[in-house]
């Protein structure tokens, strides 16, 4: 049996490297566990880490052994039942923990527990949002607080040592020295040739030889006094700060809090918006979020009130759409901002108001939006609001609508609405 021994030294951070290798290898199982965890979490721990279980059969390591090449005969000691040529029946498989069947105990067999490890908050969010993106994010401009982008701007003769461009400095120094000593080197070579000729003649003129040697010494001194690097040779990388155009986006989170929205439905809506808020905060720097709650009237609120307020009432969805349009007109010029709206409701609305909603969307809101995502939360047939929104969907391909029937559908629907699309 061949043996493979890893004699590599344990380097620093080797455990981190092994951890990343493990996560790449079992990415499918980890991603499945992360998506399932969303439906089980409360609002308060949505962005914490997660404990991942991987079936034991999936973490088995490969084994190197000799293949059964050719015809082999093996003598097994203690055999009293079989003869040459007998066919042996394969033993039945035993489940982990010694179970021979669901709910039945067995007197033999063994197994292994699932492999379990914990992923951090950062790893959890990376996996959760890795395939998501805001659709149609195209409008860019110099933001009110635009980030500076440091760019190369050629070279300078002055600067700090850390920006010294060594290759360019050495080339300039070498070129300058060659140019400075060129005439001296040619003169020295000519004098050396004269000295050699004079020393080869008979008789040797000692006075002339001494004069030539003195001239060569003076030229050698001049050549050696030329500095290897002069301040003139120094070249530094130069950097300048330029305002960087950024992509500005605003997301309107519109949630129905009317009396028909029961606590379980509100919990699902809040989880959906919590996912959306974490996704925007993690993936985009210049993204504003506007929170709007509505029943018979709509109100812009802060993040805390949006997720915790218990105010309720009747249902007039158009109040939220009108407020959204007013805020866009006042604060978010359509030429500068990528505007998005995400709406969550149970679909219940005052009957005469549903047609008003579709008219508002078609005429005043959708022409200015990059994307509109409508989520209807219930497990029964669609109501009039869904029918009216279907009219909007036929007019605009940037309008999307999905239904959520239970907590286990929150992440799949969220992923479908905001998955990265090929352009």
**Which of 103-107, 240-244, 411-415 shows the lowest mean pLDDT across its residues?**
103-107
Q: Which residue has the tokens 């609120």?
A: 301
CATH 3.40.50.410 fits 246-418, yes or no: yes
What are residue 99's DSSP bridge partners?
A: 95
Range of 179-188, 228-237, 294-303 with top mean pLDDT:
294-303
Is the pLDDT at 414 greater than 80, yes or no? Answer: yes
Pairing type for strands 298-301 and 287-294 reads antiparallel
CA distance 384 to 391: 11
pLDDT at 259: 86
Joined together, the tokens standing for residue 103 give 């709910």
CA distance 118 to 239: 43
Joined together, the tokens standing for residue 171 give 């080339």
* Percent share of the chain, pLDDT over 70: 75
pLDDT at 98: 46
pLDDT at 189: 83
Task: Return phi, psi of residue 380, to 5°.
Answer: -125, -170
Q: Distances in Å between the alpha carbon of 312 and those of 84, 258, 304, 333, 413?
A: 83, 5, 16, 32, 26
CA distance 247 to 141: 7
331-364 pLDDT, tens digit per residue, is 998 888 889 999 999 988 888 899 999 999 999 9
**pTM of the prediction?**
0.60
Other Cβ atoms less than 10 A from the Cβ of 389: the count is 23
Q: Write down the domain spans for the chain.
A: 13-61+117-130, 161-238, 246-418
Count, residues in the chain:
423
């Amino acid at each position: 049996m061949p043996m493979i021994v890893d004699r590599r030294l344990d380097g620093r951070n080797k455990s981190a490297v092994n951890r990343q290798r493990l996560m790449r290898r079992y990415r499918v199982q980890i991603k499945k566990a992360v998506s399932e965890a969303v439906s089980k979490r409360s609002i308060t721990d949505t962005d914490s880490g997660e404990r991942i279980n991987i079936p034991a059969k999936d973490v088995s390591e490969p084994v190197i052994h000799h293949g059964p090449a050719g015809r082999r005969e093996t003598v097994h000691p203690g055999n009293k039942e079989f003869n040459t040529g007998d066919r042996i029946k394969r033993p039945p498989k035993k489940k982990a923990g010694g179970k021979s069947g669901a709910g039945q105990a067995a007197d033999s067999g063994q197994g292994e527990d699932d492999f379990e490890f914990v992923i951090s908050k950062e790893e959890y969010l990376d996996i959760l949002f890795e395939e998501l993106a805001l659709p149609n994010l195209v409008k860019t401009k110099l933001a009110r607080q635009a980030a500076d982008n440091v760019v190369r701007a050629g070279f300078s003769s002055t600067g700090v040592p850390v920006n010294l461009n060594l290759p360019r400095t050495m080339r300039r120094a070498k070129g300058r020295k060659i140019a400075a000593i060129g005439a001296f080197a040619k003169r020295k070579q000519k004098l050396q040739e004269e000295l050699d000729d004079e020393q080869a003649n008979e008789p040797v003129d000692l006075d002339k030889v001494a004069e030539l040697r003195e001239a060569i010494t003076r030229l050698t001194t001049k050549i050696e006094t030329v500095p290897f690097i002069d301040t003139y040779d120094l070249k530094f990388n130069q950097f300048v700060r330029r305002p960087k155009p950024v992509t500005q986006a605003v997301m309107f989170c519109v949630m129905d809090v009317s009396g028909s929205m029961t606590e379980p439905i509100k919990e699902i809506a809040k989880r959906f918006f919590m996912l959306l808020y974490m996704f925007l905060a993690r993936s985009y720097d210049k993204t504003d979020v506007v929170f709007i709650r509505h029943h018979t009237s709509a109100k812009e609120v802060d993040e805390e009130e949006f997720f915790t307020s218990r105010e309720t009432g009747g249902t007039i969805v158009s109040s939220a759409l009108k407020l959204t349009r007013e805020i866009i007109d006042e604060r978010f010029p359509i030429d500068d901002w990528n505007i998005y709206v995400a709406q969550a409701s149970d679909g219940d609305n005052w009957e005469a108001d549903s047609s008003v909603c579709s008219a508002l969307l078609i005429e005043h809101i959708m022409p200015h939006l990059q994307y509109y995502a409508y989520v209807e939360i219930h497990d029964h047939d669609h109501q009039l609001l869904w029918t009216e929104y279907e009219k909007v969907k036929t007019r605009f391909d940037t309008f999307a609508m999905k239904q959520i029937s239970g907590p286990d559908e929150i992440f799949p629907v969220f992923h479908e609405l905001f998955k990265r699309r090929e352009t």
